[in-house]
Chain A
Amino acid sequence: MFSFELLLEAILFGVLLGCFYAAVSIGLSVSFGLLDVPHIAHPAILVFGSYCTYLLGRYGLDPIIAGIVLMPPFFLLGMAVYRFYYETFEKRGTDTGVRGLAFFFGLALVIEVGLILAFGVDQRMVEADYIGKSLVIGETRIPWRLLVAFGVAVVLTAGLTLYLSRTFTGRAIKAVAQDEPALRLMGANPVRIKQWAFGIATAVTALAGAMLIIVGPVDPSLDRIYIGRTFCVVVLAGLGSMTGTVAAGLILGISESIVLTQFGASWAPAVAFGLLLVVLGIRPQGLFGR
């Protein structure tokens, strides 16, 4: 039975979910979209961030605070990972495609299994004042945790977009994505800029990981379906476009929400992957691709 109210509600949830998906993917928009790193371990680091948030939560730290606290160490982690990737693969040139991809795949695997060994396969969640309660508007109940995640997502996405377009380092990052040789000629060191950018992308992902565990319980294998969601958003957006990431996130969120309400939970996970294949087949440069 088709209900207009149900559809509106699905769209509303889709918008909240979509902004969350955008925030979860925006780190990948930088690391893969701008820096061209085959970062298939991005979702694994996202889930790792969730588990770190959970750990800090056990010491009483509110998840959002935990997420912010995790940003500096994740920033350093990101810089280290990029540096290692660059020294081992990008520099050498031959066969980098396969090896780089296999490296990140292996890394994702090690993170996932590490999490299983440390925390077991059961789901983990965090507790906070806003988790468990809902905002009631008329007939609609919106869980507060979704609103909180939405709010943080908006701030995070807007912050990163502004950083890339307004600050000197941010613009250097965009420049290195477009024309590395020119940047080199201007005296800037592209490797250091890329390293910094990857660090920022990873730090952002830490906070996104905190939101992930706010929105719902996590388990170590969650990274697998998020490969679909994050890459769908980044490819649909057009590589490197921050505004595109928001638009693509919204499209995915609303699509998933509608499919969930109309067809049920058994079809919803395929939406991201299906949308990804459609985009690759019809318009691989995405909405705002370079």
Chain B
Amino acid sequence: MTTRGAGFWIGAAVAIGLAGVAAGVIKNEYFFFAAYPILMYVVLSTAWNILGGYAGYVNFGTAAFFGLGAYTSVALIQSTGAPLAVQIFGAAAMSGLLGFGTGLLTLRLRGIFFSIATVAVIFIMETLFINWRYVGGATGLQLLRPAPIWPFESYIKMLFVVMAVIVVAAVAVARYIENSWIGRGLHAVRDSEEAAECSGVPTLKLKVFACTISGALMGAAGAPMPMYLSFIEPASTFNLNYSIGALASAIIGGTAHWLGPVMGALLLTSLQQYATVNISNEMNVLVVGVLLVVFVVAAPDGILGLLRKLKRAK
């Protein structure tokens, strides 16, 4: 393992360690309620970036993969009372399958067709689950949290640490892809798909792979959600806002490197939490929309790009 590789894993271990310490030390439950969505969006935007940033295919359907993951958890809980770990892997598998299917269907077409198709998937998923009474149908389902596993005192603290682990896993996957031949192939696809094909890059296979992995990670992020809310219902689960947050975080943070979505999600989600609590829910969405447009127009390489320019100027 190179020193850079070792550095990353040490950092990852420290991050999880910090999360665990926080769970032990911080008494105020509200902290974990507020911090959980931030970690969740780090996973969503990191996952989004694997297809959106590396390959250049914009997925508007994050909510569909996320929601399917959440509902897979619910179905598993209702049918077998499965533990959280099984829920997460089950959710990842289902959403990965959705990613595979959607990708196979639409990634042979131009980028915008894929993007529109991802919007369609959200609505279709929502309609399916509205009409499926087993998991609550349109009115939704109340869920009872089981007892937290030792050493966690509360379920929310446990979810927080679990999400921290998922963050590390997602970032590790993204980082591996980015530095591998897969990442180089995806970048070639983004730069010029035709030239990539003629340079021997199996563009469709790589795109479908990225879409599958991306979907799976989004599903994993969605799996603990029903337990976090103790409730699930279709309209809020398949809300376009999840798609918006993932996309905006990645673009604002910077799509070239895995650090971009991480930074973007941390900053943007925190800003959103602040705006929602102190101003209004609408204002938070407006902030995201305006920031997205501003960055896309003026700082297309995101915060990472700006930082890089600053470094060069010194």
Residues of A within 8 A of B (CB): 32, 38, 40, 88, 94-95, 97-99, 101-103, 105-107, 109-110, 112-114, 116-117, 224-225, 227-228, 231, 235, 266-267, 269-270, 273-274, 276-277, 280-281, 284
B296–A284 touching, CB < 8 Å: no
A93 to B118 Cα, complex, angstroms: 25
A112-B106 Cα distance, complex, nearest whole Å: 28
CB contacts (< 8 Å) of A225 on chain B: these are: 123
**Complex A-B: 14 CB contacts under 8 Å:** A94-B191, A98-B52, A101-B112, A102-B247, A103-B293, A105-B247, A106-B293, A109-B285, A109-B289, A113-B286, A228-B119, A266-B138, A269-B123, A273-B121
6 A-B pairs with least C-beta separation: A109-B289, A273-B120, A106-B292, A270-B127, A106-B293, A110-B289
A residues in contact with B119, CB < 8 Å: 227-228, 231, 273
B282 contacts A276, CB within 8 Å?
no
- Residues of A near B286 (CB, < 8 A) are 109-110, 113-114, 117
Minimal Cβ-Cβ distance residue in A for B131: A266
Q: Which A residues lie within 8 Å of B127 (CB)? A: 266-267, 269-270
Q: Which residue of A has the minimal Cβ distance to B297?
A: A88
Interface of chain A: mostly helix, strand, loop or mixed = helix
Nearest chain A CB to B49 CB, angstrom units: 11
Contact residues of B between 65 and 108, Cβ < 8 Å to A? 105-106
Question: Nearest-CB distance from A49 to chain B (Å)?
Answer: 19
Please state if A97 and B56 are interface contacts (CB–CB under 8 Å): yes
Task: Please give the distance in Å from A253's CB to the nearest CB on chain B.
Answer: 18
With both beta carbons as reference points, the residue of chain B lying nearest to A38 in the complex is identified as B112
Q: Which residues of B contact A270 (CB under 8 A)?
A: 123-124, 127-128
Report B207 CB to chain A, min CB distance, Å.
Answer: 13
Look across to chain B and name the residue whose beta carbon is closest to the beta carbon of A285.
Answer: B109
Q: Whole-angstrom distance between the alpha carbons of A109 and B119 in the complex?
A: 14
Chain A's nearest CB lies how many Å from the CB of B3? 32
Q: Which residues of B contact A269 (CB under 8 A)?
A: 123, 127
CB <8 Å contact, A95 and B124: no
Asked if A102 and B292 make an inter-chain contact with CB atoms under 8 angstroms apart, the answer reads yes
With A98-B56, A117-B282, A117-B286 already in contact, the answer to whether A105 and B292 are too (CB < 8 A) is yes
Within 8 Å of chain A (Cβ to Cβ): is B218? no
CB A3 to nearest CB in B, in angstroms, measures 23
Q: Among the interface residues A38, A102, A235, which one has the most CB atoms of the partner chain B within 10 A?
A: A102
Do B60 and A228 have beta carbons less than 8 Å apart? no
Asked, given contacts A270-B124, A281-B105, whether A235 binds B131 with beta carbons under 8 Å apart, the answer is: no
B105, B116, B128, most chain A CB atoms within 10 A: B116
